[in-house]
Structure 1
Amino acid sequence: MAVLRGGKSVLSIVLSVAFVLSLAACGSSSTTGKTPVAAKGSSTLRWWNNWGDTWVKSFDPAEITDSVSIANVNLIYSNLVKADYPSLKIIPDLATWTVSSDHKVYTFHIKKAAKFSNGDPVTADDAAWSISRALLPATKSPVATTYLGEIVGAAEVAAGKATTVSGLKVVDAHTLQITLKDPIAYFLGTLSYPTADVLDKKVMQGKAPATYLTNTCSGNVGSGPFELVCLNNGSGKSSFYPSGHTSFTKFKPNPHYFGKKPKIDILGTFYAKSDDVYHAYEANEVDGTPVPGADLARAEKLAGFSKKPALITDYITPNQTLPPFNNVNCRLAVAYAVDRENINNKLLRGTQGPLYDVLPPGLPGYTGRQPDVPYFDLTKAKQYLNNCPGKLNNVGWAYQDTSTDITHEYNAILGNLHQIGANLVLKPLTFNAWLNVVGGPTMNSTKSQERITENLWLDDYPDSQDWLQNLLTSTANYDIGGFKNPTFDSLVLKGNTTFNTAQRASIYKQASKIALKDGAWIAVGFAYNIYVINPRVHGIINTASLPQPIGNDWSNVSIG
C-alpha cells in the first residue's frame, strides 16, 4: 500500500503504513489547536500512527489505499484471515480454513462466537456480501480487483455484469467457500487486505460507499477488538471529535469481540508531519514515535528504543506514458545518478539501507546489488542523459512533504542529477494529495499529469507478489508509471502459481531485473522501523510491518 508505509499490514500501510521513509523524520514544530489529552494515570494508549494529514482518507475498507487509514480500520474491523508479524505468516482472524488439493477452493469456518460491536452475529452471508460490495462499480473501489480479482466471478461484478460473485458460496451460516480462477500461492495474503473485511450487512445495505463510513462515526460497526467512541449519531467530523479541537480518533474495547477483550482505550491525535509526532513524544503527548535521523544516536540510549528491518521500499516512479520519461535513456539517467549509499548511510544516518532491487530484504526473490542493474555511476548517468530528449530540463518531481528527511533526501537526489546537468524541480504535496498521484491507475489522473514521483510501498501482506504484480504488471492498478513488458508479466504470473518457495523466488528475481534495467523501478532504499515506545506501554513490539501487539492480541497490551 502507499504509505506514510502503507500499507496494513498496515498499519500501508500500514501502514501502512506504515510507515515509510518518514520513519526517519527530523526535529519538529509544535501542533496547533486544542490537543486531546488522556487523563493522567489512565489506561489509554496515546497512539502515534495518525500523521501526514488532518484526517483519514477513508474509513471504508473497500476504498483504502494507505497505511494511516488501514491503521485505524484494523482496530474496528475483522477479516477472515490476517497477517502475523514478526512470523510473516497468514493466521486465522474470524475463520479457520481448509484448501482443496488443486489449491483453488478455500473453505472458511467462521467462529460461532463472532459478533459485531452492536451484537449482531457475524455470518458467512455478511462475508460474501462484503466482498461483492467491494467489487461493485457503485462502490468505486480503486483496489478491489487488485486484491479480490482472482475469485471466480469477481471480474463480472466489477464490470457491472453481475451483482454477486459466483465464486462465493454460502454453505451455511458459518461456512463460506471461495473458488479461485487459478491456483495462486498468495491468496490468503491478498484476502487479508481490508477489501475483504467483513461488514454488517444489516447496517451497511443502502449506505453510500466511502462517504458514509468516513463521515459517520456511529456507522462503523465492526467485529474487531475495538469500536470508535462517537460523540453523536450524526455525520461529519464532529461525530468523531469536538469542533475546534485538533482532529483525533478514539477507540474503546468492543464489548462483543470474539477474542480476548483489550484492557485499554486508544487515543490517536492527528499530526501534519512525522516531525510533529517526535515533538509530541518529547512533550509526553504520545506514547511512541518514529525516531528522527538527527536524534538516532541519542535515541538508541533511551528505554523503549528498537530498530527492525521493515518491508518498506523507497523508490522512484517515472511516467513512461509522457515525455521525457517515455524515453528509456531519461529513466536510466535518473537511475544511475542516485547515490544510494550516501543518501541512506550518511544523509539519513542509517535509518534506511541502500536498495538496488524491487523487493526489500526478507522476501523471497530479493538479491541485493547486481552488476547489471542501475547503481551510482555519474559517468553512465551522463551518457544516458546525453541521449535523453530535452536533457531533463525544468521537469517537476512530485513528493509527499510529510517529513524533513524526505525533503532532504529528494533535494540530495536532485543534487546528484544537477551534477550531470539535469534540472528537476520538487513539487511538495500533502499526504492525501500525494495519494492522488500514486494511488492509481495512472499518474495522468491529476490535472498536472506528473512526470515523475517519489514513491513508497509498505507490504499489504508479506509476499513478493505484492510488489511485482500489484505495482508493475501491465494491468495493475498501481502501475502508475505505465510500465508494459510482456516477458515481465509472464514471469510474474508464473511465479504467482508456483508453490515451491525456491523456484518461485528464482522466477521473481528474473522479473525484477527486467523492471530495474528498464528504469521502470528506480530503487532508493529499504526502511528500518525505528521507534521509541514509552516504557509505560507493555505488550507492543516492533516488527517488519509496524509496532504490533504481542501475538496479534490486543489483550496483551497494558499501560502503566
Structure 2
Amino acid sequence: MKSILPRLLASVLVFCTLTASAAPQILRKGNGPEVETLDPHKAEGVSAANVLRDLYEGLITERPDATLTAGAAESWTLSDDRLTYTFTLRRDAKWSNGDPVTAEDFVAGLRRSADPATGSNYSQILAPIANAEAVIEGKLPPDQLAVTAVDPHTLTIRLKGPTAYFLGLLVHSSTYPIHRASLAKFGTAFAQPGNLVTNGAYRLVQRVVQSHILLERNPYYWDNAHTSIDQVQYLNTEDLNSEFKRFRAGELDWTYEVPASQGAWIRANLPEMYKVHTYLGVYYYGFNVTRPPFKDNPKLRRALTLAIDRKIICEKVQGLGEQPADSWVPPGTIGHRTAKAQWSGWNREQSLAEARRLYKEAGYSEENPARVEILYNTHENHKKVATAIAAMWKQWLGVDAVLVNEEWKVYLQTRRLKARTEVFRAGWIGDYNDANSFLEILHSKHGLNDQGYSNPRYDELIEKAAVEGDPAVREQLQHDAEALLMEDLPVIPIYFYVTKRLVSPRVTGWEGNIMDHHHTRYMRLQ
C-alpha cells in the first residue's frame, strides 16, 4: 500500500489538473443598464458599446491601452491630398458562420448607418465622409455615400476634407460591417440571438432581458488562436450595492462601477482590486431649450449653473476622484485648447451673487420661484447628485425642483421627445480621443442633441474644424466653438469622469485607459 498510494495520489492530481485546464474560461462582467439594442448602427449607450466591441471588429481596432491598431483591415494608405483612404482587408477575416468578410460588407454597413431609414441617432458621426450629410438628410440615396468596394478585399473611403481623427472614428460601432444575408433574411430582427452573425472575437449565444447577455468565442475569428476566454457574461445591473455584493460573493469578476457610499471602505479593504483611471467623459445636466422655462432664457440657465457647488458634489456626494467641470471638453483630449467658462476660478460668494442677480433678472423671486423637473435614469449615484443639486437650487435661489427617475430605455425615449423634459441628467463619453466627439453632439442636426440647441455660428465653427487640415487653425476653431457653448449654456458641465471599478485578481490582461475600452480577447483568467 505504501508504494501504491503515492502513485495513486499523483494520478489524481494529474487528472484534476487536466480537468481544470479543460474547463471553459468564463468572464463575468457587470455591465450597467439594460442594453437597448445589439444593432451596431442603432446602439447608443456605453453598456451596448461594451458588448458590441466583443461581437464586432471595425476596419480599425484598439490595443489594451486603447491606442489604434489594425482590425479587419490589415493595412491602409492615405492619398497625398489626405482625402482618400484605401483599406486592405485581411483575407482570413470571417463572419461567425464562416462566411468571408468582404469590402462590400463594410460598404453596406456604412451606407446603412447613414441611411435615414435606419433611424440611427449616431449617423452624424459619419459627416467627414463625402456626401454623408446629404445622405443623412435624405437629399441623396445611400449608394451615393463615398465608400467603394474596389474588390472583395479592398475598400476606399473618400472624405470631404482632411480629417485628423478619422481612423479613431472607425473604432465606433456605427462604422461596423453588416452581414448582408442575415439582414436580408431577418430584417430588423437580425440582431436577435440565433440570427446575429458577427465578425468579432465573440458571437452571441443568449440574451435575457433585464438579466444578462452571454457570448462565446467565435471559432472563425482571424485571431482566435490568441483568444483565451471562452465565454463572456455581461450582467445588467442598475443597483450598484447589489452589484458590489455580488462581486464580494465571487459572482462577478469586475463591476461596472462602485457605489459612492462604499468608496472609503473599498479603498481601505480592497486596494489592489480597486481600479481608478482618468476617463474621457463629462457628467452634465441638459436644458431643454425648445420650450419654457429655458427657451430664450439664458439668464435662468446661467443662474442655475452658477448655483451648483461642483466641489461638494465631487468630494462629498461622489468622493471617488471626479474633477469639477468648468468646460465642456475634458482634460486629456488630444490637441485641444480648453475654453473654460467665464466663472471658472470664481469663489463661492462670487458665483452665488451672480446667480442671484441673473435669477432675479430672469423674472424669478422668493414670491415667484422657478419650478423645474429634473429627469434622471434609475441609478443610486444619479439620485444622489440630483438630490444635492435640487437642494442647492432651493437653498441659494429658492427654486422648486421635482425629481423624476425612469428606467434607462424609457428615460432615453423621454429625452428624445422633448415634449416634457426640462432638465435631464446625462453623460457623454468620447467615442474617439478628439474634441470633435464632444462638440459635434450639440450640432443642431445631430441625433443626440436632446437639448434642442441650435446656434448657426456654433454649427459653422465645428463644421469647419471637422475638415480643417492645419492643426493650429483647427484647434482655434474648436476652442471658439467651446467658448460659444459655455456662453450659451444649453448644458451644465458638472464633473469630469474617472472610471472606478473592482477587478478580480484572477483577471489578467486588463489595462486601464482613458477610453475605458476593454476587449475581452486580450484577457485571461488565472
The equivalent position to 2:216 in structure 1, one of 222, 240, 252, is 252
Q: 1:429 matched to which residue of 2? A: 406
> What is the correspondence of 1:162-173 to structure 2 with a 5 Å cutoff?
162-173=141-152
SS in 2 for 1:279: helix
Equivalent runs, 1:85-104 vs 2, <5 Å = 86-87=65-66, 89-95=67-73, 96-104=75-83
| 8 A Cα contact 2:228 2:523, kept in partner | yes
Pair 1:415-2:391 in alignment: yes
Offset at 1:392?
5.3
Shift in CA distance, 296/369, structure 1 to aligned 2, threshold 3 Å = farther
For residues 197 and 185 of structure 2, what CA distance do their matches in structure 1 show?
Answer: 15
TM-score (structure 2 length as normaliser): 0.87
> Computing the radius of gyration over CA atoms, which structure comes out larger, 1 or 2?
2
- Aligned partner of 1:316 in structure 2 is 285
Which structure features the higher share of helix residues?
A: 2
Amino acid in structure 1 at the alignment position of 2:420: Q
TM-score normalised by L of structure 1: 0.82
Note the alpha carbon deviations across 1:81-124, whole angstroms, 9 max, x for none: 1355635x433211121111222111111111100011000011
- Closer, same or farther in 2 for the Cα pair 1:173/1:263, shift >3 Å? same
Is contact 1:324–1:392 with CA below 8 Å preserved after alignment?
no
Tell me what 1:385 maps to: 359
Determine the C-alpha separation between the residues in 1 that align with 2:522 and 2:185. 37
Instruction: Provide the C-alpha distance between the structure 1 equivalents of 2:196 and 2:314, rounded to a whole number of angstroms.
Output: 41
Match of 2:459 in 1: 489
User: Partner residue of 1:225?
Assistant: 201
Q: 1:52 aligns with which of 33, 53, 61?
A: 33
Q: 5+ residue gaps in structure 2?
A: 1-20
Q: Deviations over 1:112-161 (max 9, x none)?
A: 110001100001111111212223333222222x1223323334544174
Residues 42 and 109 (structure 1), Cα distance of their counterparts in 2 relative to 1, 3 Å cut: closer
Count of matched residue positions in the alignment of Structure 1 and Structure 2: 490
How does 1:481-520 map onto structure 2 within 5 Å?
A: 481-520=451-490
Q: How far apart are 1:546 and its partner, in Å?
A: 2.1
Question: What is the distance in 2 between the residues matched to 1:42 and 1:192?
Answer: 29
1:52–1:273 contact (8 Å) kept in structure 2 = no
Aligned to 1:112: 91
1:515 deviation in Å?
A: 0.9
Displacement, 1:60? 0.6
Equivalent positions of 1:349-368 (< 5 A) are 349-363=319-333, 364-365=335-336, 367=338
Evaluate the alpha carbon distance shift between residue 365 and residue 555 of structure 1 in structure 2; reply closer, same or farther with a 3 A threshold. Answer: closer
Q: Check conservation: 1:83, 1:462, Cα contact below 8 A.
A: no
Taking structure 1 as reference, are residues 502 and 279 closer, same or farther at Cα in structure 2, changes over 3 Å only?
farther
**2:235 aligns to what?**
269
Secondary structure in structure 1 of the residue aligned to 2:197 = coil
User: Which aligned pairs between 1:198-217 and structure 2 lie closer than 5 A?
Assistant: 198-209=177-188, 211-213=189-191, 216-217=192-193
Aligned to 1:9: none
Which position in structure 2 is the counterpart of 1:27?
A: none
Change (3 A) 1:544 1:224: same
Alpha-carbon distance between aligned partners in 2 of 1:246 and 1:474, rounded to the nearest angstrom: 34
Conserved? CA contact 1:76–1:220, under 8 Å: no
Q: Which aligned pairs between 1:73-84 and structure 2 lie closer than 5 A? A: 73-84=52-63
For the structure 1 residues 74 and 547, does the alpha-carbon distance in structure 2 shift closer, same or farther, using more than 3 Å as the test?
closer
**Whole-angstrom distance in 2 between the partners of 1:120 and 1:520:** 47
> For residue 406 of structure 1, what is the amino acid of its counterpart?
H
- Given the alignment, which residue of 119, 128, 131 partners 1:150? 128
Residue 173 and residue 47 in structure 1: after superposition, are their counterparts in 2 closer, same or farther (change >3 A)? same
Q: RMSD of the alignment, in Å? A: 2.4
Contact 1:314-1:527 within 8 A present in 2 as well: yes
**Separation of aligned partners in 2, 1:347 and 1:272:** 18
Distance 1:491 1:138 in 2: 28
Equivalent of residue 325 in structure 1, options 290, 294, 297 = 294
Say if 1:84 and 1:360 are closer, same or farther in 2 by CA, change over 3 A. farther
Q: Secondary structure at the match of 2:426?
A: strand
DSSP-derived class of the 1:541 partner: coil
1:295 has 2:295 as partner: no
